[in-house]
Structure 1
Amino acid sequence: MRHRLAELRGPDVPAKALDARALAALAANPGCRRRAILDGAGVDKVRLAGALGAPSGFGQSQFALTRGNAFEARVKADGGAELLRLAHARLDPGAEPPEAAAVPDLTAHGPEGRTARTALALREATRAGGWTLLDHPMLALDVAGSLAFLEPDAVVVHPDGSWSVVEIKSFPMLDGAADPAKVGAAARQAAVYVLALEEVAERIGAEPEGHAGAEGDGGPRRQSAHGGTRAAVVRHRVLLVCPKDFSNLAAASAVDVRKQRAVTARQLARLTRIEEIAEALPEGTCFAPDRSAEELTAAVAAVPATYAPECLSACELAFHCRELAREAGAVTRLGRPLRAELGGLATVEEVLAAARGFSGDPDDPAVAALRRAAALRAEALESAKARAGAEVAACR
């Protein structure tokens, strides 16, 4: 399967890493096979969109990236003292203050090596007790049969052995509150990290949050009978760290991601496995950037997509898919709520035909509603026409 994905990506083309932001977007639209296979194969969708003649402005600016990196470095300075202070204040005020935290070295060769080193560091920190800060650990998550390597900003191990995800963002927190839309996006991204951490906890024999013995969000504060070894708990409250009031000072808030975690887990489970999508593609399909625009257009068209207006803020191929949806007359381009209301009517032509009585089952609630709306519209237009005629006659 890895060889097949490399063929789709193109010879000697390095795979683009699948990050938590992309996974959260993929989970928000699990019916899109096009994005699933492109992300699974590690295709650079920015270059692909440019080659198709529909470049997207999706993504962060260089200025925002530089500002975010500078703020993250400041928060993590001095062994993460400021970050741990915020974690103690917002997530675990009942624990002992983090006077001197351990910061293990996670250096290893390749993503597989870093993932193994992260799991080892988490196990050791859980057993040792005290505060531990893992700076940019590497986590792995199986997504539709393809392994994705994820790198959260940080993971904090609490004195009781529980684990918390830390998200550091460059958007400001004004008077203790940030932009709800940006906080929601950060929560969905953090939920992916929580899922990946839960897989690590399962592999090393830790208990997921909510099992017997848990006390609130912090989980169990207990020791096992095996030499005092603590049982790890993946907390569902993550620490969101942002600049305070446009300054360089850090402010933090605890964000509960249980809802986002449940939704993301359910949506990722619904994804069609990458193997099934790859097997259905025509022989010779390739998304290599050196192919002609005609070849790339045919390759992309060979994979069905599910476009929605939300894709414009989450996918690099959104402009291309929107144009194809317009040409096909798909109702998905008008939004998911309307698509759900229309039932089995998938195109604008089908909707108009059903409304005019040319097709459709009259007992279908969607068809009945469309015909009722068409009748009301015709009645309103006829009434307006009659009033206009009367006014013209009166003027004469």
Structure 2
Amino acid sequence: MSDLPFVRDEVRGFTPYAPGLSIDEIREKYGLARVIKLASNENPLGVSPLVVRALERTAPLAFRYPRGGNPVLTAGIADHFGLDPAGVAAGNGSDEIIDLLIRVAARPGLDNVVAFNPCFSIYVHQSRLCGVDMRQVPLAGDFSFDFEALLSVVDENTALVFVTNPDNPSGRAVPADELAALSGRLPARTILVVDEAYADFADPAKDYTLLPRLKDFPNVAVLRTFSKMYGLAGLRLGFGAMSPALADYLRRVRLPFSVNLMAEAAGLAAMQDGQFIAATRETVLRGRAGVAAALAGLGCQVCPSMANFLMFTPPLAAARVFEALLGRGIIVRPLASYGLPDRLRVSLGSDEENAAFVAAMREILGQAGAAGGA
């Protein structure tokens, strides 16, 4: 079929975002009764009981529109994170805030956006969709952040610089002080966007976030999501924290009602459940240490992580290990789409899920070793 003549050039050749495999498709493909999904960095404990109750209360109101601008949610976010509510912009996931920042700050055909490679594909997709040049520099060989290389491609027409901290898929992180220093080396009209989707899992978390210091850095915007620590991936909720003037422009151009009534209620409830937040963090940090040690003991090269996942290079071909895990009902994330075909990423699950993953890896690598020895 020939390409449609009325489709914009920026859209030709686009491929959709490829999410992790679903539990249902693997269950059906392999005829399995149980499937463990450790591919999408979701909350290992599921959903807060307070969120469940809030959704039950809110469901009968689903026929109503939410309030424009979600002022109660914005105030709740500001109170929970210690922010100026005027500088908070809620979105349909932090993805929407990424899109809005590019649309508001970057001039098509004139400006550029800068990020590391690999990076979250949405930075690349939305820049391209908006007709904005995307410049990328590789991470260092150990996946640490080479800020000098990043700065080498920044110029007076750089609208946005994206840094994910902790990074995905490596899990590496830098202290917030280094990002603060980076912001001071950017051109006057350049916004440093720090994507802190996984910052709640850094240790200690306070050393890796710029949120409490935003007033000192008017050229910094911080992204946060409710999909990880707060267990709301299916409801799509996130926010950006930035200068009140920039947040005002995002609110002006945001599509009306993009944050739905259920997501708003769930987000408010999730922030109130300190016990669930603490249990999630404890589970992830315990799992991260245990699974990393187990993988290293099996001959895998494990990248140091401050996130709720681990990137590793197995001693066998990554594609072979990935398929062998699928056959045992365990979904992890292959990283070929990140340009890393020899590596896999595993989300930290519950203690039981982590143990099942480690047992499967022992079986897979043990069988390969026995076959090699024969």
- With normalisation by structure 1, the TM-score equals 0.28
Greater share of residues in helix = 1
- With normalisation by structure 2, the TM-score equals 0.30
**Structure ID, larger Rg:** 1
